Amino acid sequence: MGLRQWIDGWPVYRQLTGDDALGRGSAARSRGTERLSARTEQADRVVRSVCPYCAVGCGQKVYVKDEKVTQIEGDPDSPISRGRLCPKGAASKQLVTGPGRISTVLHRPAHATGWERIPLDRAMDMIADRVIRTRRESWQDTHRGVPVRRTLGIASLGGATLDNEENYLMKKLYTALGAIQIENQARI
């Protein structure tokens, strides 16, 4: 390192001679600072998304590194949100990566006092059996003499963070099953 470099590396010198008189910007940078970079810069990819909380529909940019979400920020390109997120939207990364997320299927048998873990494919099979059985047991061909082709034995209540495509498959499958008590937060 030459003398010139040594002097330039001294923050007080840069503060006195440069245009950062308050020493809160470039004058205060160190080699340690130079080595730092934002998570958003280190990301392997950035994926465009939409905030899952209220219905304003703020744009989100999801930063991914090593197949993990490392940051979620507002999308400045969005004509709706112009890059802003509210406290909930800004907490989205914790929503998707934070503690408490459950990643195994849990089963509570009738009258049991605790949960048991069961494999996903077994749970799917058990649920399909229960749908078929309840549908069969509660099927109505007619109601007061007119055809109804339905079951009142099965009901559903969905949240309004469901994607359109999910709602579509739900309504389609339930209707083919004859289940009509299909509801959503949109009622509430």
Partner 1 sequence: MAECHPVGFQWVMEAKERGATIIHVDPRFTRTSALADVHVPLRAGTDIAFLGALVNHVLSTGKDFREYVVAYTNAPAILRQDFADTEDLDGLFSGFDPESHHYETTTWMYEGADASAAAGARDRWPASGGEGEQDVAARQHGGRELRDTARAESYGAGGAALGGKPALDPTLQHPRCVYQVLKRHFARYTPELVEDVCGVSRELFARVADAITANSGRERTTALCYSVGWTQHTVGVQYIRTASILQALLGNIGRPGGGILALRGHASIQGSTDVPTLFDLLPGYIPMPHAHQHQDLDAFVAADAGTTGFWGNMRAYVVSLLKAWWGEAATQENDYRFDWLPRLTGDHGTYRTVLNQLSGECKGYFLVGENPAVGSANAKLQRLGLANLDWLVVRDLRMIESATFWKDGPEIETGELRTEEIPTEVFFLPAAAHTEKDGSFTNTQRLLQWHHAAITPPGDARSDLWFYYHLGRIIREKLAGSTDPRDRPLLDLTWDYPTEGPLAEPSADAVLAEINGHGPDGQPLSTSTQLRDDGSTACGVWIYCGVRAHGHNQAANRRPRHEQSRVAPDWGWAWPANRRILYNRASADPDGRPWSERKRYVWWDAEQGRWTGDDVPDFEADKPPGYRPPPGAKAQDALAGTDPFIMQSDGRAWLFAPAGLADGPLPAHYEPYESPVDNPLYGQQTNPALQAHDRPANRYHPAGNQVYPYAFTTYRLTEHHTAGAMSRTLPYLSELQPEFFCEVSPELAAERGLEHLGWATITTARTAVEARVLVTDRMKPLRVRGRTIHQVGLPYHWGPEGLSTGDAANELLSVVLDPNVRIQESKAATCDIRPDRRPRGPALLAHVAAYRRRAGLPDDTPPTTGEGRP
Span 55-114, contacts to partner 1 by CB under 8 A: 55-60, 62, 64, 67-69, 72, 76-82, 84-89, 91-92, 94-96, 98-111, 113-114
Place of tokens 């905030």: 51
Using the rule CB under 8 A, give the single segment among 1-9, 14-22, 24-32, 160-168 that binds partner 1.
160-168
Q: How many residues bind partner 1 (CB under 8 A)?
A: 118
Binders of partner 1 among 25-54, rule CB under 8 A?
Answer: 45, 47-54
Using the rule CB under 8 A, give the single segment among 7-15, 16-24, 26-34, 135-143 that binds partner 1.
135-143
| CA-based nearest residue to 62, from 95, 102, 99, 104 | 95
Under the binding rule (CB under 8 A), the answer on residue 166 touching partner 1 is yes
CB of 39 to partner 1, least distance (A): 14
Tokens of residue 103, six digits? 């990643």
Q: What's the Cα-to-Cα distance from 133 to each of 42, 70, 136, 177, rounded to whole Å?
A: 52, 45, 5, 12
Distance of alpha carbon 8 from alpha carbon 149, whole angstroms: 84
The sheet with strand 68-74 has its strands ordered as 45-50, 59-65, 68-74
Under the binding rule (CB under 8 A), the answer on residue 180 touching partner 1 is yes
CB of 20 to partner 1, least distance (A): 30
